């Protein structure tokens, strides 16, 4: 399913400021849009939509009706709207232009995977409540982290977003389902679990030049993405995103010290999308530019 089709259909007049299209994110999509005032077309979503207002617009309101429920919400920074799978919206109005709104889309399969992991059939994408004016600091924090990667690509950013999407799915299902899951949090106790993570780690180091994602690494470890992300941190002490980012920067340091490659070649070999992205990430962690590091290296 192309998650971006939903935004194109629901927001035909909205400006697209940033999109995850082309980023190869798995199991999540995001768009930053500027909305004009006016009515939106009716729609029945096939994926979970989470909307986050990133700016306060004094006097602006969003009115909408879905699942027989009519809502009118002031647009304030941090306000969240939830629109679950299968809930038809047939009356949506934006009272004033909105300069910047984040839309995150999660496929129904994300919720199915969570239900399978926890053995709880009540966890479904269509079981989330249709809500407006949600004040949830955790969802807000996750949304802003996805927004940061959407507008400023970083090393291992795809992994960070996919891991954030797992946490976002779990939070929405846990806090806003019609029936809140009560199952205990299971954890793999098999003796071969550390070995599964070792396989993923070996794959990471063999493929640092590639775009890596949590879904792909979970498949290497023969685990679900939810289970893999939790188990990886339990075994290594780091999230997959943090581990990959550190491994890429460590490879970059070694290549810079060897002085056999140009800065551009070091960036690509270390898995960065561009020399500019490499320079920004390297300086943020190391405290100097790659060129300066190479000059000072023995």
Confirm whether 183 is domain-assigned: no
pLDDT of 170 strictly over 80 = yes
Contact 120, 185 (CB under 8 A): no
Residue 262 DSSP SS3: coil
How confident is the model at residue 192, as a pLDDT? 53
Residues 45 and 165 in one domain: yes
How confident is the model at residue 198, as a pLDDT? 92
Confirm whether 133 is domain-assigned: yes
Contact 134, 84 (CB under 8 A): no
Q: How far is it, in rounded angstroms, from Cα 217 to Cα 79? A: 34
pLDDT of 187 strictly over 50 = no
| Residue 114 main-chain phi, psi, to 5 deg | -65, -40
Residues 88 and 219 in one domain: no
| Number of domains present in the structure of the chain | 3
pLDDT of 46 strictly over 60 = yes
> For residue range 90-132, what is the model confidence (pLDDT) as tens digits?
889 999 999 999 999 999 999 999 888 888 888 988 889 999 9
Give the residues across from 107 on adjacent strands.
47
| Residue 3 main-chain phi, psi, to 5 deg | -65, -25
Contact 146, 106 (CB under 8 A): no
Split at pLDDT 50, 70, 90, the class of 179 is: low
> For residue range 243-294, what is the model confidence (pLDDT) as tens digits?
998 999 999 999 999 989 999 999 999 888 788 888 988 998 889 999 999 9
Residues 101 and 21 in one domain: yes
Residues 246 and 203 in one domain: no
Confirm whether 206 is domain-assigned: yes
Confirm whether 187 is domain-assigned: no
Residues 16 and 137 in one domain: yes
Contact 73, 41 (CB under 8 A): no
Residues 43 and 159 in one domain: yes
Q: In this predicted model, which residue has the larger pLDDT, 118 or 76?
A: 76
The helix (run of H) or strand (run of E) holding residue 147 is helix 137-151
Confirm whether 184 is domain-assigned: no
How confident is the model at residue 214, as a pLDDT? 82
| Residue 74 main-chain phi, psi, to 5 deg | -70, 145
Split at pLDDT 50, 70, 90, the class of 219 is: confident
Residues 127 and 262 in one domain: no
Beta strand 29-35 with 15-19 is antiparallel
Q: Can you give the residue range of the structural domain that contains 107?
A: 4-176
Tokens describing residue 150: 């959407």
Q: Supply the DSSP symbol for 195.
A: H
Which residue, of 142, 176, 210, is where some domain finishes? 176
Q: How far is it, in rounded angstroms, from Cα 288 to Cα 129? A: 48
Q: Which of 19-23, 154-158, 176-180, 253-257 is the least confident region?
A: 176-180
Residues 152 and 80 in one domain: yes
Confirm whether 181 is domain-assigned: no
Confirm whether 56 is domain-assigned: yes
Total number of residues shown for the chain: 298
Confirm whether 171 is domain-assigned: yes
Give the residues across from 213 on adjacent strands.
none
Percent of the chain with pLDDT over 70: 94
pLDDT of 31 strictly over 50 = yes
Residues 213 and 282 in one domain: no
Stretch 218-233: mean pLDDT: 82
Split at pLDDT 50, 70, 90, the class of 229 is: confident
Q: How far is it, in rounded angstroms, from Cα 47 to Cα 292? A: 47
* CATH at 55: 2.60.120.10
């Amino acid at each position: 399913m192309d998650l971006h089709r939903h935004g194109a259909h629901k927001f035909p007049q909205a400006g697209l400021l940033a999109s995850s299209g082309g980023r190869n994110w798995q199991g999540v999509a995001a768009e930053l849009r500027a909305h004009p005032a006016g009515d939106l077309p009716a729609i029945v979503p096939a994926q979970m939509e989470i909307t986050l207002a990133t700016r306060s617009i004094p006097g602006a309101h969003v009115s909408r009706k879905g699942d027989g429920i009519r809502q009118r919400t002031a647009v304030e920074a941090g306000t969240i709207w939830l629109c679950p799978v299968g809930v038809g919206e047939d009356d949506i109005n934006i009272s004033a232009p909105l300069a910047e709104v984040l839309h995150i889309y999660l496929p129904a399969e994300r919720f199915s995977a969570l239900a399978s992991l926890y053995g709880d059939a009540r966890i479904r994408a269509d079981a989330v409540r249709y809500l407006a004016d949600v004040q949830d600091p955790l969802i807000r924090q996750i949304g802003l982290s996805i927004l940061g990667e959407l507008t400023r690509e970083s090393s291992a950013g795809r992994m960070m977003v996919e891991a954030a999407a797992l946490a976002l799915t779990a939070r929405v299902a846990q806090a806003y389902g019609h029936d809140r899951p009560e199952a205990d949090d299971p954890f793999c106790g098999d003796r071969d679990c550390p070995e599964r993570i070792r396989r993923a780690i070996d794959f990471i180091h063999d493929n640092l030049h590639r775009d890596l994602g949590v879904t792909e690494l979970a498949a290497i470890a023969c685990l679900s993405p939810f289970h893999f992300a939790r188990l990886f941190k339990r075994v290594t002490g780091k999230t997959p995103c943090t581990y990959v980012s550190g491994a890429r920067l460590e490879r970059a340091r070694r290549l810079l010290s060897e002085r056999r490659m140009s800065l551009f070649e070091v960036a690509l070999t270390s898995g960065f999308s561009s020399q500019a992205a490499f320079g920004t990430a390297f300086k943020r962690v190391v405290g100097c530019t790659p060129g300066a590091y190479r000059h000072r290296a023995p």
